[in-house]
A and B are shown apart, each in its own frame.
Chain A
C-alpha cells in the first residue's frame, strides 16, 4: 500500500541555519504531496503542497519540489527561526479520495 517515509528526528539546529527534512513516498502513480506542521498542543496546519511532478510548493520561506524520478518531496528552508520549532509531517493524497497518508513526523528544535 501507499506509504510515506521521513528522516528520523529530532533535528536540532541553531537559528539561521539551513534546514532539510527528507521525505520519500511509495505509491503507484502520482499523488498530491503535502507538508503539514504541528505546533505543541495544536492540530495540523497546511504548510505547502504540490499536485504534480516538478511542481514547487512554497510558504513562509519553506520550499519543497515534487520529484517523481526519486519519489521525493524534501522540505527546505534557508534560514530557520526559533518559531519554526514544531513537528513536520509529509503526506500524500490521491485526487479521487480525500484521506491523507502521513509520514511519522520529524521534530525540529531551533535554538537561539
Chain B
C-alpha cells in the first residue's frame, strides 16, 4: 500500500522563476493538504483540496496556487519565486470531507531558491 509520494525530492530554482510540485495521495484518500516548512520551523498550512476544489487556505499570497486532479493527485504551483520561498514543501492526504480523519504526510520536496 503506497503512502503519500511527492516529486521531485529536491529542486533548485532562481528568483522570479515558477515551480510545480506534485503529490500523489495515499491509496483511498481523496483530500490533499500542502504545508511549507522553513528551515528550523514548524510546517505552515498553505491550502487544502477536496473534490478538485480549494476548500481551505492559509495565510499565503496568490503566488501560491494549486490543483487537484480527478485521480485525487495534486500540484502546488509557485510563481515569481522569492528567496524566502526556500523550504521543504510537505503534502498530506486524508479521507473524506469531515474533520478528525488522520493525515498521512509525504517526505516532502526541498526547494532551494538561488
Interface residues of A (CB under 8 A from B): 4, 32, 36, 41-46, 49, 51, 89, 91, 93-105
Chain B contacts for A99, CB-based, 8 A: 33, 45, 48, 56, 58
How far is B3's CA from A65's CA once the two chains are assembled, in angstroms? 29
Give the interface size bracket for B toward A: 20 to 34
Given contact pairs A45-B105, A96-B99, a sample of 17 additional A-B residue pairs in the complex whose CB atoms are under 8 Å apart: A4-B42, A36-B105, A41-B107, A44-B90, A94-B99, A95-B99, A97-B56, A98-B31, A98-B48, A98-B99, A98-B101, A100-B45, A100-B103, A102-B44, A104-B41, A105-B41, A105-B42
Interface contacts (Cβ under 8 Å), in number, total 59
Contact yes or no, B31 A44, CB < 8 A? no
Chain B contacts for A46, CB-based, 8 A: 102-103
Query: Considering the complex, which residues of chain B in the window 27-48 have a beta carbon less than 8 Å from any beta carbon of chain A?
Result: 31, 33, 35, 40-45, 48
Interface residues of B (CB under 8 A from A): 4, 31, 33, 35, 40-45, 48, 56, 58, 90, 92, 94, 99-103, 105-108
Closest Cβ neighbor of B96 among chain A residues: A98
Closest Cβ neighbor of B43 among chain A residues: A102
Shortest B13–chain A CB gap in Å is: 20
Contact yes or no, B105 A44, CB < 8 A? yes
Chain A contacts for B107, CB-based, 8 A: 41-43
How far is B35's CA from A102's CA once the two chains are assembled, in angstroms? 10
How far is B107's CA from A97's CA once the two chains are assembled, in angstroms? 23
Shortest A90–chain B CB gap in Å is: 9
